[in-house]
Amino acid sequence: MAQRGVGINTAIKSAMDVGIEQFVVPGVSPENWPVVAQLAKQFPPVHCTFGIHPLFIDSHSIDALPELEVRIEDSLLHSHGCIAIGECGLDFYQGRENEKLQFMVLEAQLKMAQRFELPVLLHVRKAHNELIQILKRHPLPKGGVLHGFSGSYEQGMEFIKCGLWLGIGGTITYPRANKTRMAVSRLPLERLLLETDAPDMPLNGYQGTVNEPKFLNEVLSTLITLRSETEQTIAQKLRNNTYNALQI
Ligand SMILES: [Zn+2]
């Protein structure tokens, strides 16, 4: 949830009006960490995380790692501190020019997750199998969330075996996302949770608009049509999964 589109106050209020209780706002770059930390201080239902997102990696990212470590350590001493490390991960959607750098920055953040015993928020595009291999080398004490899951049942199960929950977002609202919809209908319910990735990933029918957290219930409605469990079981389980995964 970033600050594009409606103001943050409005986005939080309209989501709370439809029953959403808490929010996770991931930090993606050194410039962005103080912004999300301030949001978490200002709005008690908001939790922040700190990380270096693969799309924000540049020549300064290696130098930023010690700063990230200090920021996390310091934040854990205070209330409204960070609840996870991320977003971090791999993104080869636009090419692999900086793949070495992406691997290094990700591995450093996974080590921090081990050291601080924090969950991770993982982002991946065009690198599912490579991410699985890296996760096998860096076992995570608190697991984490693979956000915006889109993939096959087998890939989903591999991530779950690495201790992750799968973040299910607007992708499943698109009928053409057949592989992901089929996977999500069969993957274990106790390892799924809901997300919007607002302001990104608009739902089907809202293309070209700014996504908002209030649309979480529409992701839930779609998930209910794909699963065999009752609506109540799904809603309750997913809520608990979120709290377990992120320990909020
Ligand atoms: Zn992401």
Q: What is the pLDDT of residues 99-156, one digit of tens each?
A: 999 999 999 999 999 999 999 999 999 999 999 999 999 999 999 999 999 999 999 9
Please check if 128 is assigned to a binding site.
no
Cβ-contact 201, 169 below 8 angstroms: yes
Instruction: Give the pLDDT band (50/70/90) at residue 189.
Output: very high
147 alpha carbon to ligand 1 midpoint, in Å?
6
Q: Which CATH architecture has domain 8-246?
A: Alpha-Beta Barrel (3.20)
Q: How far is the CA of 179 from the centre of ligand 1 (A)?
A: 20
123 labelled as ligand-binding?
yes
Domain boundaries, the chain: 8-246
H or E stretch including 69? helix 61-75
Does the annotation place 80 within a ligand binding site?
no
**Using one digit for the tens of pLDDT, what is the confidence trace for 205-224?**
999 999 999 999 999 999 99
Burial class (CB in 10 A: 0-12, 13-18, 19+), 52: buried
- Which one-letter DSSP state was computed for residue 203? P
* Cβ atoms 246, 145 nearer than 8 A: yes
Ligand 1 geometric centre to CA of 97 (Å)? 19
Q: How far is the CA of 148 from the centre of ligand 1 (A)?
A: 7
Q: Tell me the CA–centroid distance for residue 175 and ligand 1, in Å.
A: 21
DSSP secondary structure string for all residues of 74-100: HHTTSTT---SEEEEEEE-TT-STTHH
Integer Cα distance of 11 and 149 in angstroms:
23
